[in-house]
């Protein structure tokens, strides 16, 4: 008889998927940095009037920031551990969801999770600042 909390197969599958996604974090962040540099370069060149190229680069930067954010969120969930996942086949879904919420709150206080939480906040803020400062309309920036 195993001691401690048993983890279901679906939780371990989601945990493994998050570990795989978290492993791509550095590549996705590098892609976001590259996209931002290209966007800023073209933005400085075409400061007077936005072009279609600038619109395309703005969308690419938003996509790259979103992908980096997804990888950072996955890394944060991996650092928190499998207890923070809600099993899909729980006997009492409300109780399982509440237990996972409590585990997430406890995990966020651990020192190995805090850098990932800060990184998620930083990336989310950067993405929202980009979305608010460069609005993409139909065919032109607003």
Asked if residue 84 has pLDDT above 50, the reply is: yes
- The pTM of the full predicted model, rounded to 2 decimals, is 0.85
* Contact by Cβ (8 Å): 77, 42: no
pLDDT of residue 68: 98
Are the C-beta atoms of 63 and 96 separated by less than 8 Å? no
* Confidence band for 5, pLDDT divided at 50, 70 and 90: low
Q: What is the largest CA-CA distance in the chain?
A: 71
B/e letters for 71-105, b = 16+ CB within 10 Å, e = fewer, are bbbbbbbbbbbbebbbbeeeeeeeebeebbeebbe
33-56: pLDDT as tens digits = 999 999 999 888 876 667 788 889
Predicted local distance difference test score (pLDDT) of residue 7: 76
CA-nearest of 107, 94, 80 to 14 is 80
């Amino acid at each position: 008889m195993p001691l401690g909390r048993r983890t279901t197969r679906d939780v371990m599958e989601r945990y493994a998927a998050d570990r795989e996604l978290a492993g791509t974090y550095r590549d996705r962040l590098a892609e976001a940095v590259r996209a931002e540099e290209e966007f800023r370069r073209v933005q400085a060149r075409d400061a007077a009037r936005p072009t279609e190229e600038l619109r395309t680069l703005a969308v690419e930067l938003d996509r790259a920031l979103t992908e980096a954010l997804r990888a950072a969120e996955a890394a944060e969930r991996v650092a928190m551990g499998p207890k923070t996942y809600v099993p899909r086949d729980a006997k009492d879904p409300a109780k399982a969801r509440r237990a996972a919420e409590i585990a997430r709150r406890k995990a966020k206080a651990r020192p190995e999770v805090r850098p990932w939480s800060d990184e998620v906040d930083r990336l989310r803020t950067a993405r929202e600042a980009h979305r608010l400062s460069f609005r993409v309309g139909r065919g032109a920036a607003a």
